[in-house]
Amino acid sequence: MITAFDELQRLGHFGPECLRLVRGLMSEEMRRFPALEPAAGWQQADVEDLVQDFLEQRFAALTTSLLTTARNDESMGRLLRRSIRNWMIDRARKTGTGRVRQLLERVLGESAEFEQVPSGQPGAGQWRLAETPSEPWSGDPRDLIRTANAVQDVRIGRWSSTTRRAPVAARDSLIAVALAVLSAAGGSLEIAQLTHVFLARFPVALDWAVVPLEAGEGLLQADTRTPEEELIAGYDEIDSAGGAVEVVSMLSPQERALVPHLDDVAAAERVLDCRRSNAYQQMSRLREKLTQLAGTGDDRHAVILEVIHLCTPPSE
């Protein structure tokens, strides 16, 4: 029987064996992204849809990469898995961006401090501070990001385990940041511009790895909710800020195991079963994640210390 690597080298493009390999790897990798999982759970048709979308988007670059780089079936599988995983992360981040945008629109719409520019005025449909006539803003987004970063006492919303998605700031913090950003802009902003600033301020909101991988059947069932339940779950996410226990609940098992070793790359390599640069990257990411999840309140250091304490096994 011909292998996928031999087939690729013989045809110069993907054939049935390569397609089988993509299907197999996709059905493994998609289970690592429960945030993308349909309410009814993964079906065979979903694998087909994902494979088709993936190949439609990546076919030429992927084929070129595998033809030039893979040296045998093992290396081809490794390269292909890396490509699929990256594509799934990209997909999860796009879903997360849409969710942050919806959340912002909802919070801005419900708060008396903000309003949309009425039709017929410059920047119609954009957001501005209530009762402030203003022109559409057209400055450097980095200035707004700096303003957003300077807002004190920001707290991250409580994580809703049923949505299994990364948290954003709590409602009062979202409002405080939006007030600061729109004041600094001195004009109205597109929701896309605001979303961009918020994602730069709260990059953890797009953290695909925030989802505990042990999320099992119980959680899958919990996700089959009515539209009303969806709405309530969405409010839960931003209506209360979390403490150390909440922060720990937002970490994957692997991240919890890594927390006690954030200064020890050799230990991190063992815990993560990876090599040095990868371990450094994951340590840096987790440090940043803990910093963000702990918020910028006066108790942030205490929260982080408590998280470390909670994640450290009693014997250490």
Partner 1 sequence: MSDPDVPKWFLDLAARNPGTRSLTESALRERFGEPSEIELEHGQVWRAGWGDMAVLLLVLELGEGEVRASPVTIDPPAEDENSFVLTSDLTAFPAPATVWTGLTRSVPQRVLDIVVAAWSMDVTTCLMNPASLEPGARLPVGVRRGRSIASDFDDRSMIRADLEDDVDQLGQMPGLPVESPVSPSVTLAAVLGEVDLAALCVALDLSQAAVMKLLRGTTALTASQAVVVARATGIPEEQILSAVRSMPRDLVQAAEHPRWRQVWIARAQRLGTDETQARLDGCQQALALAARQTGGSQTDWDARLRRALNGEEGAPR
Can residue 241 be called a binding residue for partner 1 (CB under 8 A)?
no
Taking each helix axis as running N to C, give the angle between helix 191-201 and helix 171-185, from 0 to 180 degrees, rounded to the nearest 10: 120
Is the CB of 5 or the CB of 114 nearer to partner 1? 5
Is the CB of 85 or the CB of 128 nearer to partner 1? 85
Min dist. Cβ of residue 275 to partner 1 (A): 4
Can residue 285 be called a binding residue for partner 1 (CB under 8 A)?
yes
Min dist. Cβ of residue 224 to partner 1 (A): 29
Can residue 12 be called a binding residue for partner 1 (CB under 8 A)?
yes
Length of the chain: 316
Tokens of 43: 């079906």
DSSP state of 30: G
Nearby residues of 164 by Cβ (< 8 Å), 6 or more positions away: 34, 35, 211, 212, 215, 219, 223
Cα Rg of the chain (Å, integer): 22
DSSP state of 158: P
Can residue 32 be called a binding residue for partner 1 (CB under 8 A)?
no
Cα 122 versus chain centre, distance: 34
Can residue 234 be called a binding residue for partner 1 (CB under 8 A)?
no
Is the CB of 119 or the CB of 277 nearer to partner 1? 277
Residue burial 132-170, b: 16+ Cβ < 10 Å; e: rest: eebebbeeeeeebbebbeebeebbbbbbbbbbbbbbbbb
Can residue 272 be called a binding residue for partner 1 (CB under 8 A)?
no
The window from 8-16, 150-158, 223-231, 234-242 that contacts partner 1 (CB under 8 A) reads 8-16
Q: Per-residue string for binding with partner 1, 193-212, x by CB under 8 A? A: -------x--xx-xxx----
Can residue 289 be called a binding residue for partner 1 (CB under 8 A)?
yes
Q: Which of 86, 21, 16 is nearest to 58 (CA)?
A: 86
Min dist. Cβ of residue 291 to partner 1 (A): 11
Is the CB of 59 or the CB of 235 nearer to partner 1? 59
Tokens of 298: 């006066």
CA distance 85 to 33: 9
Provide the 3-class DSSP secondary structure of residue 221.
helix
The window from 10-18, 126-134, 255-263, 297-305 that contacts partner 1 (CB under 8 A) reads 10-18
Q: Write out the E strands in the chain.
A: 114-116, 127-129
Can residue 82 be called a binding residue for partner 1 (CB under 8 A)?
yes
The window from 32-40, 55-63, 225-233, 256-264 that contacts partner 1 (CB under 8 A) reads 55-63
Is the CB of 223 or the CB of 255 nearer to partner 1? 255
CA distance 95 to 51: 18
Is the CB of 167 or the CB of 187 nearer to partner 1? 167
Q: What are φ and ψ of residue 267, in 5° steps?
A: -65, -40
Can residue 13 be called a binding residue for partner 1 (CB under 8 A)?
yes
Residues that bind partner 1 in the complex, under the rule CB under 8 A:
8-16, 19-20, 48, 52, 55-56, 58-65, 67-72, 74-75, 77-79, 82-83, 86-87, 89-90, 93, 200, 203-204, 206-208, 274-278, 280-282, 284-285, 288-289
